[in-house]
Amino acid sequence: MKIATYNVNGVNGRLPVLLRWLQEAGPDIVCLQELKSPDERFPAQPIRELGYDAIWQGQKSWNGVAILSRVGEIHETRRGLPGDPDDRHSRYIEAAVNGILIGALYLPNGNPRPGPKFDYKLRWFERLIEHARGLIETGLPVMLAGDFNVMPTDLDVYKPERWLDDALFAPDVRAAYSRLLDQGWTDTLRSVHPGETIYTFWDYFRNAYARNAGLRIDHLLLSPALSDRLLDAQVDHHVRGWEKTSDHAPVWIELADKA
């Protein structure tokens, strides 16, 4: 089974790119982020025509997350993280799909730092850590997938010295990601590619993609009950080179069938 995450940076504006990639790559399940679309404008029909059911939580102009599946019904279990009833950002949706519980997320960017946006990012991360602990404790096969907006180590960022003041590379943000992994989650890309420079995002400016001046901020994490099924993890980096594409590339993993 092939499961992917992809920050589309506007699902309607990038729809031709999304549909082209879905046809080319054929993932079974996909988590999308940064829809930038209200619920009523989510392009369910063209996605359905490719064989995918979908659930989504949109938001006008900003945020938005979705889960697509062509391997079975999507049973939604949650939308929005617990812990802050006043948080109206569309950043988390969770569902059971084909025997796996999937949390699709778009963690706040947090810039500028310091400031209220960075404070919100840290609070959101703490809520994620708390919720993820409960998911681990269920013993179920669980995956957290999405744009985490964090480069965990120096290996995950081009010229890390230039990012020391950025919210995506702040010590307390990286420490939060490390505490999340310490619960028992497997960082799939890093597990398959230890010590390798591998990116998932390239800025639109300064010819970043051509220079491979990128960041690794899109992650797929597996719970202990699922990690032994991991066969592969890759980035479809060529999609970043297409016309009118997102500044992220799709990231995917392949899982063995359940024994």
Let me know: does 215 contact 156? Beta carbons within 8 Å: yes
Beta strand 2-7 with 29-33 is: parallel
73: nearest Cα among 96, 56, 46: 96
CB atoms within 10 A of CB 146: 28
Q: How far apart are CA 259 and CA 257, in angstroms?
A: 6
Q: Which residues of the chain form beta strands (DSSP E)? A: 2-7, 29-33, 53-57, 65-69, 74-79, 92-97, 100-106, 142-147, 186-187, 201-202, 214-215, 218-222, 230-235, 251-255
Catalytic annotation, residues: 106, 147
